[in-house]
Amino acid sequence: MEQIKDGSRVLVADIGGTYARFSYADASVGVLSLTPPFVLETEGFATFGDMLQEVLDETGRPEVNAAAICGAGPVVGDAGSASIDMTNCPWQLTEAELTKRLGTSRVQLVNDFAAIAHALPLFDEEELLQLGTGAPDKDGPLAVLGAGTGLGVAGLVPDGQGHYALIDGEGGHADIAPANTRELAIYERLLRRFGHVNAETILSGSGLEALHDALCEMEGLTCEPVSAAEIAARAATGGEPVSAETVHCFTSWLGAAAANVALTMGATGGVYIAGGIVPRWGGLFEAARFRARFEGRGKISVYVKPIPTYLVVAPDPALKGLVKIASGLLR
């Protein structure tokens, strides 16, 4: 395979519903190395083009040889004319605009969790925390899901020759079910409120807040607006039982969603948890609660129990995957 020319530079960016992270990667000895990323809030810009222009202006408009950008939404269209309509942000990302602003046709848009999926084989041991037991099937598919502004899902299937095929979709919008009477009562309140309940309705920042509202209503408490970050902070200090139960419910349903992904993709190579919420919880995240729900699959539990689950603690994992994608654009 052709080596990447030293001095080549690529732009990579992870565009989420709340934050956008940009970085350059420069090639040395045929390997692309990331510069420290910088972070911008999406609400401060009317369009993606406005944000991109500010990034280019602030960094002196360096010449780039390629760009790999991921966004929280499905990619539509063919290579060169692909676009992403952001799911939780009123923006559209287009390869045409990237080509025009960057002056290179070597650009690629991918879903944000597709980018993280590309990084899965690249993580070092210290960038992962195993949740429970299990050992990976080295020939099995890998899956990743994670909650943030929304819920992302993606996977990789090994081809037996050291490469992988991407499984890319919108699994965060698949249905999810209650598993006990308490969850059923919560689910019914969410159904009345939203008209439809899928995994992202619960497993996202707004979902955490909706869970808190439902539990307050069930306890006959006044539902004051509480952010997802504040719910986690209250649960961590033990000062509010409803916040603690909210986190417990979220953790259990995340275990269920992870099991659904494992079963659907046959992800015997492992299921990875990423996103902007759980990796920041630290000791608040109860691996045992998550794992119990993951393994509690009735007669098919024997299938999921050997599957390992991991928490991705690497910083900016999507950027690592984007560098992998950008490497392919330069070869």
What is the DSSP secondary-structure string of 76-124? Answer: ES-TTT-EEE-SSSS-EEEHHHHHHHHT-S-EEEEEHHHHHHHHGGG--
Q: Give the residue-averaged pLDDT of 169-196.
A: 96
Domain that holds residue 246: 124-313
Q: Does a structural domain hold residue 15?
A: yes
47 CB burial (10 A radius; 0-12, 13-18, 19+):
middle
> 264 and 295, same structural domain?
yes
* Residue 30 in this model has a pLDDT that exceeds 80: no
Q: Does a structural domain hold residue 274?
A: yes
> 284 and 142, same structural domain?
yes
214 or 73: whose pLDDT is higher?
Answer: 214
Q: What is the CATH number of the domain that holds 89?
A: 3.30.420.40
Per-residue confidence (pLDDT) for residue 257, from 0 to 100: 98
> 251 and 140, same structural domain?
yes
Q: Give the residue-averaged pLDDT of 89-101.
A: 93
> 140 and 80, same structural domain?
no
> 222 and 153, same structural domain?
yes
Give 238's pLDDT tier (boundaries 50, 70, 90): confident
* Residue 292 in this model has a pLDDT that exceeds 90: yes
Asked if residues 100 and 307 have their Cβ atoms less than 8 Å apart, the reply is no
Q: Does a structural domain hold residue 1?
A: no
> 296 and 152, same structural domain?
yes
Per-residue confidence (pLDDT) for residue 224, from 0 to 100: 83
Counting the structural domains of the chain, the total is: 2
* Residue 124 in this model has a pLDDT that exceeds 70: yes
Asked if residues 232 and 281 have their Cβ atoms less than 8 Å apart, the reply is yes
- Taking the C-alpha atoms of residue 159 and residue 176, their distance in angstroms, rounded to an integer, is 31
Mean residue pLDDT across the chain:
93
Per-residue confidence (pLDDT) for residue 184, from 0 to 100: 98
> 99 and 128, same structural domain?
no
pLDDT tens profile 42-78: 999 999 999 999 999 999 888 999 999 999 888 999 8
Q: Any idea what DSSP says for residue 163?
A: -
- The owner of tokens 């979902």 is 207
Q: What is the CATH number of the domain that holds 255?
A: 3.40.367.20
Per-residue confidence (pLDDT) for residue 2, from 0 to 100: 54
Q: Does a structural domain hold residue 118?
A: no
How much of the chain exceeds pLDDT 70, in percent? 99
> 91 and 145, same structural domain?
no
- Taking the C-alpha atoms of residue 217 and residue 211, their distance in angstroms, rounded to an integer, is 10
Query: Taking the model in full, what pTM does it have?
Result: 0.93
Q: Give the residue-averaged pLDDT of 222-241.
A: 90
Q: Does a structural domain hold residue 119?
A: no
Give 3's pLDDT tier (boundaries 50, 70, 90): low
Per-residue confidence (pLDDT) for residue 1, from 0 to 100: 43
